Amino acid sequence: MNRMPDMPPKFAIVDSNVLTCIGLADLLEMIMPGISVRTFQNMEDLQKADPTSFAHMFVSAQMYIQHACFFRDQRPRPIVLTNGDSMPQLSNALTLNVCQSEMGLIKDIMSMHKNKHRTEH
């Protein structure tokens, strides 16, 4: 990641579902004031925006699977948004279950941040 020390961390949300993007962006900005969040509905727009500039990329499971080679090369920055289902093809990816309560999401995001992603393979 190439960012200046005084620049706020940048996060990307990559999901074709606009409501998911808006909701997750609002939640991230609420629990981490001062960050910058950009949303993308497709991979082409993400790639135009210099993906290496993002501290993390929250990516829909479908998008992650469709572009697995790209996202595997970006580890540990991608965080795959799941619907609570166990998906064997995501066994080596950091995941966030988006089908839970707001407090559950906050707890999981803060736990990831606190643990510095120790759960990654």
Q: How confident is the model at residue 114 (pLDDT cuts 50, 70, 90)?
A: confident
- For the chain, the straight-line distance linking the first and the last C-alpha, in angstroms and rounded, comes to 20
Distance between CA atoms of 110 and 116, rounded to whole angstroms? 10
Task: Give residues with Cβ within 8 angstroms of 97, minimum separation 6.
Answer: 82, 83, 84, 104, 108
CA 58 to the chain's CA centroid:
2
Whole-model pTM?
A: 0.86
Structure tokens at 36: 């910058």
- Residues 91-119 have a mean pLDDT of 84
Rounded Cα distance, 50 and 85, in Å: 30
Check whether 82 has a pLDDT greater than 80.
Answer: yes
Assign 91 a pLDDT band (cuts: 50, 70, 90): confident
Q: Say how many CA atoms lie within 13 Å of 62 toward its Cβ.
A: 7
- How far is residue 94's CA from residue 61's CA, in Å, rounded to a whole number? 11
Phi-psi region for residue 17, left (φ > 0), alpha (ψ -120 to 50) or beta? beta
pLDDT by residue (tens digit) across 13-48? 999 999 999 999 999 999 999 999 999 999 999 999
- pLDDT top residue among 114 and 8: 8
Q: Scanning the structure block, which residue is given the tokens 């210099």?
A: 50
The per-residue pLDDT for range 46-58, each reduced to its tens digit, is 999 999 999 999 9
Looking at residue 90, its pLDDT comes to 78
pLDDT at 59 over 60: yes
Instruction: Give the model's confidence band at 116: pLDDT under 50 very low, under 70 low, under 90 confident, else very high.
Output: low
